[in-house]
């Protein structure tokens, strides 16, 4: 039986620095991700998207508020959350295979060495990197490294998946390939989990998500949550031609554009103030 | 395949043949005539064999191997002609190659025992330093509070040359061997420690974050993440330590030993046996080359994940 978890962000705030120069990175962020939902956080850089991932993964503690996974508060990092970062998830001194084994070892699910190795092998095959089993990350391309990272995340069999701009460093063709791979893997049976996904790419968010949370910077806030109503499985080609898709895309772009212009004006004022 | 071997390779063989011919055909300078030349001839033949083997084994680096041997053979020929045959400089201070290499035949056993003894003392001190400095450095690098205390101390103490401790080491420790081990340990400890600490700092915090998301314990974090992550910097520290260890052992032996490489040079210097002094220097160079080669191989194996092809 597959247990799906919920993620609840309950009134999260994050402030850096001490009383003299306080910088508010996040302010009153509330968001609930239902069982098995794929939610994307989208927004201009510096709006606190990655900070949210860091808080949910337990790397940072929020100033106020809390994160609940299945109504259990998060108190630190743990293997109930599988995380993929932009390009720094893998350990360069371990081969692709060793990286996955290492992660499985620490989830405590598999006990014997042969069990771990069998599972690692299986996930490496799943992302099509059987031949690169003994390659070190430095010798792999950026796309291959992210495939290993994703295989590692799936192999850990966590309650939820957290992804922080996992395809942000890839060229556009590789990105398309990776999005399709992720969707294919995620759609099937026990690999279907609750996902929190950070991106700055509108098309990526629309293709992958059930809901999109649009964030605004300084201080980081969720401005609105948009439902993405398209049925799954989704086809990139036919989807991007529908009127509904185009309407959603233009709405998202205009919201983000407004935010960006506001932010630029703000920066300019700050700069004048300093000068 | 044949055309890949550089043309200069022929020059190396010609120079070796020239050296051989000069040695056999031209008589030594009159006052050196007694010297037996078999060892030098042996060295020349050995050089030819090693060079050929090098060309076969290191096909990719044939040019580098050839250039290296070209320099060595030119030095040999110049040494032989200027000092051995023409005796242009004081033959007592600057003996020819035939005379020097003959020492390896006559004093070979003594030199070998000396080299093995020196290496044993060095290895003991060096390994002790590795065992202590690496775990300590990992821990200091990982715990900010410990670092704040340890760093100023390390900064103040590490530049002190290890030989400064020699007077106390000799007085306080019962044997020369234990005093030297201590000296080498002190000399090797600091560079490894500092290298390890900097290595921990150099580990990308994003990789540490990625490790944290796997829920590692502190112990696992240090062993599986910080140690391999700091390894490149540990190796550069260990390299400096190795050089320090060579200097320490040689100086210590020159001052206080009754055997070993440094002692051999110092002892023969007192009797004005400069041919033996030069032979000792050549032996030290050979030992250093050998140890560095092994070090390099270990480093390449441990850091194989850094290669990008």
Distance CA(B265)–CA(B267), nearest Å, equals 6
Strand-pair category, A64-69 with A38-42: unpaired
Contact residues, chain B, for A102 at CB < 8 Å:
214, 224
Nearest-CA distance B228 → chain A (Å): 7
Q: Which residue of A has its CA nearest to B304?
A: A93
pLDDT tens per residue across span A237-262: 888 889 999 999 999 999 888 888 88
* CB within 8 Å: A91 and B307: no
* CB within 8 Å: B307 and A58: no
Contact residues, chain A, for B228 at CB < 8 Å:
91, 93
Contact with chain A for residue B209, Cβ under 8 A? yes
Task: Identify which of A106, A105, A103 has the alpha carbon closest to the alpha carbon of residue A150.
Answer: A103
User: Residue B158 belongs to what H/E stretch?
Assistant: none
Nearest to A77 among B212, B224, B305 (CB): B212
Per-residue pLDDT of chain B (309 residues; tens, 9 = 90+): 444 677 888 999 999 999 999 888 887 766 665 567 888 899 999 999 999 999 888 888 888 889 999 999 999 999 988 988 888 888 888 888 888 998 898 898 999 999 999 999 999 999 999 999 999 999 999 888 889 998 888 888 888 888 788 788 878 888 888 988 999 999 999 999 999 999 999 999 999 999 999 988 888 999 999 999 999 999 999 999 999 999 889 888 888 778 888 899 999 999 989 999 999 999 999 999 999 999 999 999 999 999 876
Contact residues, chain A, for B306 at CB < 8 Å:
92, 138
Q: Is the pLDDT of residue A30 over 50?
A: yes
Distance CA(A54)–CA(A81), nearest Å, equals 11
* CB within 8 Å: B224 and A57: no
Q: Which residue of B has its CA nearest to A89?
A: B210
Contact with chain A for residue B309, Cβ under 8 A? yes
* CB within 8 Å: B305 and A136: yes
pLDDT tens per residue across span A132-173: 999 999 999 999 999 999 999 999 989 999 999 999 889 999
Distance CA(B199)–CA(B192), nearest Å, equals 10
Task: Identify which of A176, A170, A179, A172 has the alpha carbon closest to the alpha carbon of residue A150.
Answer: A179
Contact residues, chain A, for B229 at CB < 8 Å:
91, 93
* Greater model confidence, A20 or A42: A42
Contact with chain A for residue B228, Cβ under 8 A? yes
Distance CA(A224)–CA(A216), nearest Å, equals 9
pLDDT recorded at residue A243: 92
pLDDT recorded at residue A129: 93
Give ipTM to 2 decimals. 0.86
Distance CA(A180)–CA(A157), nearest Å, equals 20
Distance CA(B44)–CA(B64), nearest Å, equals 20
Q: Which residue of A has its CA nearest to B309?
A: A139
Contact (Cβ atoms closer than 8 angstroms) between residue B114 and residue B56: no
Contact (Cβ atoms closer than 8 angstroms) between residue B191 and residue B238: yes
pLDDT recorded at residue A136: 95
Distance CA(A152)–CA(A208), nearest Å, equals 20
Task: Identify which of A39, A148, A177, A155 has the alpha carbon closest to the alpha carbon of residue A88.
Answer: A148
Distance CA(B115)–CA(B281), nearest Å, equals 12
Task: Identify which of B283, B299, B297, B274 has the alpha carbon closest to the alpha carbon of residue B116.
Answer: B283
Contact residues, chain A, for B305 at CB < 8 Å:
92-94, 136-138
Mutation pick from B203, B208, B212, B213 vs chain A, by most beta carbons of A within 10 Å, is B213
Taking all residues of chain A, what is their mean pLDDT, rounded to a whole number?
89
Q: pTM score > 0.95 for this model? A: no
DSSP annotation of A90 reads: S
pLDDT tens per residue across span A190-230: 888 999 999 989 999 999 999 999 998 878 889 899 999 89
Percentage with pLDDT > 70 across chain A? 97
pLDDT recorded at residue B1: 45
* CB within 8 Å: A58 and B210: no
DSSP annotation of A47 reads: S
């Amino acid at each position: 039986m597959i247990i799906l978890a919920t993620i609840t962000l309950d009134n999260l705030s994050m402030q850096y620095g001490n009383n003299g120069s306080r910088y508010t990175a996040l302010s009153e962020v509330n968001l609930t991700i239902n069982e098995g939902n794929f939610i994307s956080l989208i927004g201009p850089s510096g709006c606190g998207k990655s900070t949210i991932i860091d808080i949910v993964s337990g790397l940072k503690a929020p100033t106020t508020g809390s994160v609940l996974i299945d109504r259990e508060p998060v108190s630190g990092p743990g293997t109930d959350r599988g995380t993929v970062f932009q390009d720094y998830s893998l350990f360069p001194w371990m081969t692709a295979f060793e990286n996955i084994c290492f992660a499985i070892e620490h989830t405590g699910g598999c006990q014997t060495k042969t069990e771990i190795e069998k599972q690692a092998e299986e996930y490496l095959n799943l992302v099509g990197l059987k031949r690169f089993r003994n390659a070190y990350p430095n010798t792999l391309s950026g796309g291959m490294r992210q495939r290993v990272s994703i295989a590692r995340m799936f192999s850990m069999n966590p309650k939820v998946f957290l992804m922080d701009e996992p395809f942000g460093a890839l060229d556009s063709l590789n990105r398309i390939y990776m999005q399709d791979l992720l969707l294919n893997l995620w759609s099937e049976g026990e690999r279907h989990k609750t996902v929190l996904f950070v991106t700055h790419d509108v098309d990526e968010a629309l293709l992958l998500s059930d809901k999109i949370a649009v964030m605004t910077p300084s201080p980081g806030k969720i401005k609105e949550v948009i439902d993405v109503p398209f049925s799954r499985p989704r086809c990139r080609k036919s989807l991007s031609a529908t009127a509904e898709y185009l309407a959603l895309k233009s709405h998202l772009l205009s919201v983000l554009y407004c935010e960006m212009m506001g932010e630029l004006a703000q920066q300019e004022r700050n700069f004048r103030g300093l000068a | 395949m044949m055309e890949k071997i550089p043309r200069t390779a022929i020059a190396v063989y010609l120079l070796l043949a020239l050296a051989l011919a000069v040695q056999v055909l031209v008589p030594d300078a009159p006052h050196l005539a007694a010297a037996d030349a078999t060892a030098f001839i042996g060295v020349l033949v050995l050089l030819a064999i090693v060079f050929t083997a090098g060309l076969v084994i290191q096909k990719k680096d044939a040019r580098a191997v050839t250039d290296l041997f070209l320099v060595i053979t030119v030095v040999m020929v110049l040494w032989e002609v200027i000092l051995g045959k023409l005796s242009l400089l004081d033959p007592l201070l600057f003996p020819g190659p035939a005379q020097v290499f003959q020492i390896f035949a006559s004093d070979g056993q003594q030199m070998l025992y000396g080299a093995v003894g020196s290496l044993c003392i060095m290895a003991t001190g060096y390994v002790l330093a590795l065992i202590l400095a690496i775990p300590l450095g990992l821990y200091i690098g990982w715990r900010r509070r410990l670092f704040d205390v340890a760093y100023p101390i390390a900064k103040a103490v590490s530049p002190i040359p290890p030989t400064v401790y020699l007077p106390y080491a000799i007085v306080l420790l019962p044997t020369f061997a234990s005093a030297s081990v201590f000296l080498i340990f002190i000399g090797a400890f600091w560079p490894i420690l500092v290298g390890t600490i900097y290595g921990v700092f150099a580990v990308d915090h994003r990789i540490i974050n990625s490790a944290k998301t796997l829920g590692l314990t502190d112990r696992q974090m240090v062993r599986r993440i910080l140690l391999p992550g700091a390894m490149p910097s540990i190796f550069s520290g260990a390299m400096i330590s190795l050089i320090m260890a060579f200097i320490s052992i040689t100086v210590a032996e020159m001052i206080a030993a009754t055997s070993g490489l440094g002692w051999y040079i110092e002892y023969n210097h007192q009797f004005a046996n400069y041919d033996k002094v030069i032979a000792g220097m050549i032996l030290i160079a050979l030992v250093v080359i050998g140890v560095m080669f092994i070090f390099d191989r270990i480093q390449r194996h441990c850091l194989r994940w850094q290669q990008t092809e």
